[in-house]
Amino acid sequence: MIELTSLKKRISAWIDERYEISNLISYMKKKSVPKFRATFWYYLGGITLLLFIVQVVSGILLLMYYKGTENLAFESVQFINTKVYFGWLIRSIHSWSANLMILGAFLHMFSVFFLRSYRKPRELTWYTGFILLLLGFGFGFSGYLLPWNELAYFATKVGTDIVKQVPFVGHYFMVLLRGGEEVTGATLSRFYGFHVAVLPAIFTVFLTAHLMFIQRQGIHEPEDWKNKSESERSYMPFFPNFLLRDLLLWLIVINILAILAVFFPWELGQKANAFAPAPKGIRPEWYFMFMFQTLKYIPGKVWFIDGELLGIGFFGIAGFLWFMLPFWDKRTKIGIRNKLLNYIGIIVIMFIIVLTILGYVLE
Partner 1 sequence: MNSSNHIGSPESPKKGRREFINYLLGGSFAAWLISIVYPIYHFLEPPKVEEVKVSNLKVGKVGDMEKESGKIVKFGSKPVLVVRTAAGDYKAFSATCTHLDCIVQYRKDYGQIYCACHNGRYDLNGRNISGPPPAPLAKYNIAIKGDEVIVFKDES
Which of 181, 147, 176 lies closest to 68 in space, CA to CA? 147
Contact call for residue 259 and partner 1 (CB under 8 A): no
Q: Is 357 helix (H, G, I), strand (E, B) or coil?
A: helix
Q: Pick the stretch among 213-221, 231-239, 306-314, 332-340 that binds partner 1 (CB under 8 A).
A: 306-314
Output 275 or 328, the one with its CB closest to partner 1: 275
Query: What is the per-residue binding string for partner 1 in 137-156, x denoting contact by CB under 8 A?
Result: -----------------x--
HSE at residue 100, side-chain half, CA atoms within 13 A, is: 27
Q: Answer for the pair 348, 340: CB distance below 8 angstroms, yes or no.
A: no
Output 175 or 324, the one with its CB closest to partner 1: 175
Q: How far apart are CA 267 and CA 262, in angstroms?
A: 12
Output 13 or 176, the one with its CB closest to partner 1: 176
Contact call for residue 301 and partner 1 (CB under 8 A): yes
Q: Pick the stretch among 20-28, 46-54, 280-288, 327-335 that binds partner 1 (CB under 8 A).
A: 280-288
Q: How far apart are CA 306 and CA 161, in angstroms?
A: 14
Q: How far apart are CA 323 and CA 133, in angstroms?
A: 11
User: Nearest approach, Cβ of 278 to partner 1 (angstroms)?
Assistant: 4
Query: What is the per-residue binding string for partner 1 in 149-188, x denoting contact by CB under 8 A?
Result: -----x--xx-xxx------------xx-xxx-xx--x--
Q: Which residues contact residue 166 at a Cβ distance below 8 angstroms, ignoring those fewer than 6 apart?
A: 173, 309, 312
Contact call for residue 295 and partner 1 (CB under 8 A): yes
Q: Answer for the pair 76, 148: CB distance below 8 angstroms, yes or no.
A: no
Residues that bind partner 1 (CB under 8 A): 154, 157-158, 160-162, 175-176, 178-180, 182-183, 186, 274-282, 295-296, 298-301, 306-308
